[in-house]
Amino acid sequence: MKINVESIASGKIGEKFEHDFTYEMQSDINRVVKGKLFVMKTNYGFNVRANCFTNLKHTCGRCLESFESPLEFSFSERFSKENHPTSESTMKDDFRIEVDGNIDVSQAIEQYLIIETPFNTVCSNDCKGLCQQCGANLNQDECSCTPRLSNPAWENLRDLWENKTKPV
């Protein structure tokens, strides 16, 4: 997604403009990121702050159902000219202003989206997950599986109980 900043490139340092955008992601054709850019001319090029909004598609870590959740994130990045005369070593980490006066914020958006995407998501905090024995989604229905007695101490107690209650 390219934005032509040349229109203010001849302006004074400190000049600002805003730009609404809708970006269809290259890495995920089903995902759209919307937001607003705040661009300011600086001595090295432009400072770009972006407020972004998107819907994320997740798979619940407990019940494996897919669900969507909104995500808002923002970032700030520097865009500088290729041969800007400066000795600042931080300049090499900047994004570049293209020769035709465009800046391309796609890469920055994609990078920050990866950073901001949460891991280990659950569809809700009280998701009951799947039954470990029959695989039923316990949010939707209760299965008839009996809870497994995995602790040997309980197995012994059960044997004791069953022997005791057997008819003589």
Tell me which of 143, 149, 157, 160 binds Zn ion, using CB under 5 A: 143
Asked if residue 23 lies in contact with residue 113, where contact means CB atoms within 8 angstroms, the answer is no
- Burial class, 83, CB count within 10 angstroms (exposed 0-12 / middle 13-18 / buried 19+): exposed
**Binder among 62, 77, 80, 113 for Zn ion (CB under 5 A):** 62
Given the structure tokens 């992601």, which residue do they identify? 25
Question: Rounded to whole angstroms, how far apart are CA atoms 12 and 85?
Answer: 18
Planar angle of CA 139, 70, 136, nearest 5 degrees? 15
Between residues 8 and 71, which has the closer beta carbon with respect to Zn ion? Answer: 71
| DSSP per residue, 8-20 | HHTS-TT-EEEEE
Select 105 or 123, whichever has its Cβ closest to Zn ion: 123
**Subset of 102-121 contacting Zn ion (CB under 5 A):** none
Among 11-19, 24-32, 91-99, 139-147, which window interacts with Zn ion (CB under 5 A)? 139-147
Using CB under 5 A, count the residues that bind Zn ion: 11
Residue type present at position 49: R
Residue 8 vs 122, nearer CB to Zn ion: 122
Q: Binding to Zn ion by residue 134, rule CB under 5 A?
A: yes
Residues forming contacts to Zn ion in the complex (CB under 5 A) are: 60, 62-63, 123, 127, 131, 133-134, 136, 143, 145
